[in-house]
Amino acid sequence: MYAYDRESAVLVGRTAESRRVAALLDGARAGRGGALVLTGEAGIGKTALLDQAAETAGGFRVARASGSEFEQELPFAGLHQLCVPILDSLDVVPEPHREALRVAFGLATGVPDLLRTGLAALELATAAARDTPLLLVVDDAQWLDPASTRTLAFLARRVGADPVAVLIAARTPGSPGELGTLPALAVEGIGDDSAGELLTLRSPLPLDERVRDRLVAEANGNPLALLELPRAGGFAPPSTSSVPTLIERGFQARLAALPEDTRLLLTVASADPTGDPGLLWPAARTLGIDVPRAGAEAAATGLAEFGTRVRFCHPLARSAVYRAAPVAAVRAAHGALAEATDPVVAADRRAWHRAQACGGPDDDVADELERSASRAQARGGVAAAAVFLERAAALTLNTERRIARTLDAAQAHIDAGGTDVAADLLGTIDTAVLDEQRLARVDVLRGRIAFMRSDDDSGPALMVRAAHRLAATDPDRARECFLDAVEMGLVVGRAGGLIEKIMATVRAEAPPPTSPDVLDALVVLATEGHYAAVPLLRTALATPLWSHRPALASMIAGEIYDLNTLAALAEWLVGTGRETGSPALLRLGLGQTVVHATLTGDIGQALAATAEEEAVAEATGGAPLLYHRLHLAAHRGRRDEALSLIETATRGPAHVTNVNWATALLHNGLADYPAALAAARRAAEDGELFLSGAVLPELIEAAVRCDEHDLAARGLDALTVRAEAIGTPSALGLAASARGLLTGVEDHHVEAVGLLATSPLVPYRARAHLLYGEWLRRRNRRRDCLTHLRTAHELFTTTGADAFARRAATELRATGERAVTRATGPAHETLTMQEIAVARLVAAGAMSKDVAVQLFISKRTVDAHLRTIFRKLGITSRAQLRNHPDLA
């Protein structure tokens, strides 16, 4: 804190920043909660602004936490610290979420569910704010553990309808991870006049004017530097060091004249992130420190205060003390802290202190760290497990065990998203001493790392190499690796014949299956085509493929137009994801729900599932899934939205066929046939398995409109082969509609409309009516065409295919008839995605609290959405919502 007078509540040079913080508090008082992230370099004054807010938040309940450089790998440590002051409201939180918090905080056994924990934290905060506004203050957020960061960001985004203010401070150049999406205020250096005023206020003695100017110049607007540089000597020669380094040197200068045991006491304090005097004093006595004298001398430096909690004056002071200590003193401090730490209550911290106290390999400590890793994984702390395993490997003397732990650490880092660290760990392994099994595992791990990187195409090749290594000793596992390679190629979908190359290798080199499996079905599809492969693909969908490879199962279901299986798979994924607390399964299931709903024309469900998937993504710290949103935007004819998503897709490892299919669909709806043809041609030329079949109707229509009849004929031949192999009315109807467009034979249009009459592919049924209606109008059969054009317009409007609906309306106008429009637009045009999600759930009978749980928002936010929904739809009750035609 600098120049903050509690009586005047004024910070020198921070008028604008103080007003911004005050506005946040005023909004929360009025029930308009919000968040603000203060960013800036060390010492710039962020903590002072936090202190000012906490001191001046009249009528607020305040809870504070601070990230710790030494605690950032312990899952939920920061959240626990923040929630402790408001845990008296825990009884108001529903039992399942109350238990989620207990598990996250290590107060109960179980595996933490990040989704339920986030919602529980939100419910706890809103319960604590029920009678009094709540201010949550978090300092040094750059050192929060990832689980706490995600939960805090989740909470901060959802308090807009609650009297809760969230004020966070983090270092520049930006807020960590998910916090970077919250409203931010960059705290910059104060001006020279303010700097001079600050020096005058805080300097105990008058400063020579030239010295003062020199200090102002060297501090470069950093208030803490202004206060620390005089301690380091105002007449020192100019330094090229950064301001934080200069500040640390100032802190370290205070240590120089202290007795050795006093410096050791400060070192012990700096090595303990908890600030618990119950650990510090026993550890100090273990080291033979004269506690009363050394404690008084350490406190006199102003570096730390020793009360009910040991607290350094600034995070840089803690790091300065720790870095200034000799290596032997640091190890001794950690060793004493390990001895003072309860091995039952805080086993993981004890293990970590023991590890830091080691000067070389120690198998006993390594074993303890491995046990800590297991506990961390059981609590959902994958990042913590990775760090424990990494340190355990470093302390392991036996070569075999060290390699095993290094591989496990790399695996854990990959699971936690730390691909760079994982790659570095794998680089430390001497592969010359590995057998084929472990070499295969190294290849698999490197393949996963490559798959997660946007600029690395080597993932499938590494999986193939792993398969080669395992072919002789473990053929079943080798086939799994080959299938990994195929699935990676399908999911990534990069151009350049990647899948063809992989499939050629699989055909030539994969060990034969003990019985027909999904890999065998894919090989048949690639080599013999749909007639031979469709029965095998249907059999594959009847196996446990869903649980092992849900993404691949959904691709196969789409390839053979098996919408029932696609729906069942989506339902299973969503249900399993909710039941197990798996964000990955839940998000994949919601994405598949959007795909199925879009294909079947349930625009409300598509938008609601999209909103929920985005909510889960926010809760778990991930970006929303891309391709289902792209497909939905293309279907709706939302040009700007779709093109933005296409640009996002092509910046990363884009699935080329998927992107081109969506682009062709978008432009066909907009009647921009040259653009549609270019995209469809690219998709067809890619020749990838899956989706190339879905793009054929787009290719044929665009080619016909552009007079590329030979290209359209080749596309129709390919579509007909697929349709006849699949044999369902939907597949045959798509082919018949495309045939009618190309040939101009009325019987083909009649056949298409008949086959698709009961098809779940409602948007394609509408397109069949549109194409037939267009054909009839151009032959001046006005009465006949009106029936089909009206049907097409109604179906397109109902399913949200706005661009195609405009095409149908244009055709109707050409006949002299206006398209019939409703007095009020459909719900999907009137409401936002989240409002649609709320409306559908309430219409289905859900109470506000149940909606809040499913959409990860507060109950007050649900009620606020309902008020807006009622106003937009012109209704006044939940009963009217249940009877609304667009929400059935």
Per-residue pLDDT, 717: 94
Question: Distance of CA 459 to CAs 465, 482, 675, Å?
Answer: 10, 11, 33
Q: What is the tens place of the pLDDT at every residue in 310-361?
A: 888 776 777 788 888 999 999 999 999 999 998 887 888 888 899 999 988 9
* Beta carbons of 665 and 632 less than 8 angstroms apart: no
What SS3 state is found at 826? coil
* Beta carbons of 864 and 882 less than 8 angstroms apart: no
Q: What is the tens place of the pLDDT at every residue in 658-704?
A: 888 999 999 999 999 999 999 999 887 765 555 567 889 999 999 99
**Which residues make Cβ contacts (< 8 Å) with residue 218, sequence separation at least 6?**
225, 229, 238, 239, 246
Q: What is the tens place of the pLDDT at every residue in 118-139?
A: 888 999 999 999 899 999 999 9
In the predicted structure, residue 233 carries a pLDDT above the cut 50: no
Q: Distance between CA atoms of 423 and 436, rounded to whole angstroms?
A: 19
**Residue linked to tokens 């080959």:** 482
Please compute the mean of the pLDDT values over residues 648-652 and round it to a whole number: 76
User: Mean of the per-residue pLDDT values for the chain?
Assistant: 85
Q: What is the CATH number of domain 828-887?
A: 1.10.10.10
**Residue linked to tokens 């700097």:** 195
In the predicted structure, residue 494 carries a pLDDT above the cut 60: no
Range with lowest mean pLDDT among 297-306, 426-435, 540-549, 636-645: 540-549
The half-sphere exposure of 880 on its side-chain side, counting CA atoms within 13 A, is 10
Residues facing 312 on adjacent strands:
304
The angle formed by the CA atoms of residues 151, 156 and 159, to the nearest 5 degrees, is 125
Please compute the mean of the pLDDT values over residues 578-586 and round it to a whole number: 77
Q: Where are the domains of the chain?
A: 4-186, 192-253, 254-342, 358-429, 434-514, 515-622, 626-726, 736-821, 828-887
Q: Distance between CA atoms of 832 and 750, rounded to whole angstroms?
A: 38
Q: Distance between CA atoms of 822 and 385, rounded to whole angstroms?
A: 58
Q: Distance between CA atoms of 230 and 359, rounded to whole angstroms?
A: 38
| 4-186 placed in CATH 3.40.50.450 | no
Per-residue pLDDT, 238: 37
Token reading at 743: 């040939």
* Amino acid of residue 140: D
Range with lowest mean pLDDT among 248-252, 532-536, 730-734, 829-833: 248-252
Confidence label for 510 from pLDDT (cuts 50, 70 and 90) = confident
Question: Radius of gyration over alpha carbons of the chain, in Å?
Answer: 32
Sign of the torsion angle spanned by Cα atoms 191, 196, 197, 202? positive
Token reading at 217: 């110049």
Token reading at 425: 């760990």
Question: Distance of CA 828 to CAs 603, 721, 825, 834, Å?
Answer: 7, 37, 8, 11
Give yes or no for a cis peptide into 653 (omega within 30° of 0).
no
Residue 202 exposed, middle or buried by CB count within 10 Å (0-12, 13-18, 19+): middle
The per-residue b/e assignment along 541-579, b for 16 or more CB within 10 angstroms, e otherwise, is: beeebbeebbebbbbbbbbbbbbebbbebbebbbebbbe
**Helix %, strand %, coil % for the chain, to 5?**
70, 5, 30
Q: Distance between CA atoms of 247 and 232, rounded to whole angstroms?
A: 9
Q: What is the tens place of the pLDDT at every residue in 42-78?
A: 878 888 899 899 988 989 999 999 887 766 777 788 8
* Beta carbons of 612 and 855 less than 8 angstroms apart: yes
Please compute the mean of the pLDDT values over residues 877-888 and round it to a whole number: 80
* Beta carbons of 755 and 736 less than 8 angstroms apart: yes
Please compute the mean of the pLDDT values over residues 705-723 and round it to a whole number: 94
Nearest to 462 by CA among 495, 426, 428: 426
The half-sphere exposure of 145 on its side-chain side, counting CA atoms within 13 A, is 27
Residues facing 5 on adjacent strands:
10
**Residue linked to tokens 């149940």:** 850
Q: What is the tens place of the pLDDT at every residue in 591-616?
A: 999 999 999 999 989 999 998 898 88
End-to-end CA distance of the chain, in Å?
57
Q: Distance between CA atoms of 606 and 590, rounded to whole angstroms?
A: 9
In the predicted structure, residue 287 carries a pLDDT above the cut 90: yes
Q: What is the tens place of the pLDDT at every residue in 397-432?
A: 999 999 999 999 999 888 877 788 899 999 999 999
Helix axes 583-600, 114-128, angle to 10 degrees: 90
Question: Distance of CA 253 to CAs 269, 333, 773, 795, Å?
Answer: 18, 21, 86, 77
**Residue linked to tokens 């203060």:** 38
Q: What is the tens place of the pLDDT at every residue in 370-399?
A: 998 888 777 666 777 888 899 999 999 999
Confidence label for 495 from pLDDT (cuts 50, 70 and 90) = very low
Per-residue pLDDT, 310: 86
Percent of the chain whose predicted confidence (pLDDT) is above 90: 44
Tell how strand 10-11 and strand 4-5 pair up: antiparallel
Per-residue pLDDT, 241: 46
Better pLDDT: 789 or 520 = 789
Token reading at 49: 């602004």
Q: Distance between CA atoms of 600 and 765, rounded to whole angstroms?
A: 10
Question: Distance of CA 860 to CAs 74, 458, 667, 708, 878, Å?
Answer: 32, 49, 41, 57, 16
In the predicted structure, residue 10 carries a pLDDT above the cut 80: no
Q: What is the tens place of the pLDDT at every residue in 171-181?
A: 865 555 678 87
Q: Distance between CA atoms of 602 and 650, rounded to whole angstroms?
A: 28
Q: Distance between CA atoms of 820 and 238, rounded to whole angstroms?
A: 79
DSSP per-residue codes, 627-663: HHHHHHHHHHT-HHHHHHHHHHHHHSS--HHHHHHHH
What SS3 state is found at 296? helix
**Which residues make Cβ contacts (< 8 Å) with residue 675, sequence separation at least 6?**
663, 667
Q: What is the tens place of the pLDDT at every residue in 758-770?
A: 999 999 999 999 9
Q: Where are the alpha helices (DSSP H) in 454-602?
A: 459-470, 475-492, 498-509, 518-528, 530-541, 545-548, 550-559, 563-580, 583-600
Per-residue pLDDT, 134: 96
Better pLDDT: 429 or 3 = 429
Stated as kind and residue range, the H or E segment containing 680 is helix 673-686
Token reading at 553: 């199962």
Nearest to 545 by CA among 564, 521, 523, 528: 521
Per-residue pLDDT, 693: 76
**Residue linked to tokens 């964000």:** 583
How far is C-alpha 103 from the geometric centre of its chain's CA atoms? 22
Per-residue pLDDT, 4: 44
Q: Distance between CA atoms of 151 and 538, rounded to whole angstroms?
A: 41
In the predicted structure, residue 1 carries a pLDDT above the cut 70: no
Residue 814 exposed, middle or buried by CB count within 10 Å (0-12, 13-18, 19+): middle
Model pTM?
0.75
Residue 743 exposed, middle or buried by CB count within 10 Å (0-12, 13-18, 19+): middle
Per-residue pLDDT, 666: 97
In the predicted structure, residue 456 carries a pLDDT above the cut 80: no
Nearest to 684 by CA among 706, 702, 707: 702
Question: Distance of CA 800 to CAs 98, 205, 662, 728, Å?
Answer: 40, 74, 16, 25
In the predicted structure, residue 209 carries a pLDDT above the cut 50: yes
Per-residue pLDDT, 848: 86
The angle formed by the CA atoms of residues 194, 199 and 202, to the nearest 5 degrees, is 120
**Residue linked to tokens 């290590």:** 106
What SS3 state is found at 550? helix
In the predicted structure, residue 111 carries a pLDDT above the cut 60: yes
Per-residue pLDDT, 93: 85
In the predicted structure, residue 244 carries a pLDDT above the cut 90: no
Per-residue pLDDT, 438: 94
Tell how strand 61-66 and strand 134-139 pair up: parallel
* Beta carbons of 68 and 77 less than 8 angstroms apart: yes
The angle formed by the CA atoms of residues 180, 185 and 189, to the nearest 5 degrees, is 120
Q: Distance between CA atoms of 28 and 163, rounded to whole angstroms?
A: 4
Per-residue pLDDT, 824: 53
Q: Distance between CA atoms of 98 and 105, rounded to whole angstroms?
A: 11
The angle formed by the CA atoms of residues 157, 160 and 163, to the nearest 5 degrees, is 120
Per-residue pLDDT, 725: 95
Q: Distance between CA atoms of 278 and 298, rounded to whole angstroms?
A: 17
Sign of the torsion angle spanned by Cα atoms 760, 761, 766, 770? negative
Per-residue pLDDT, 457: 77
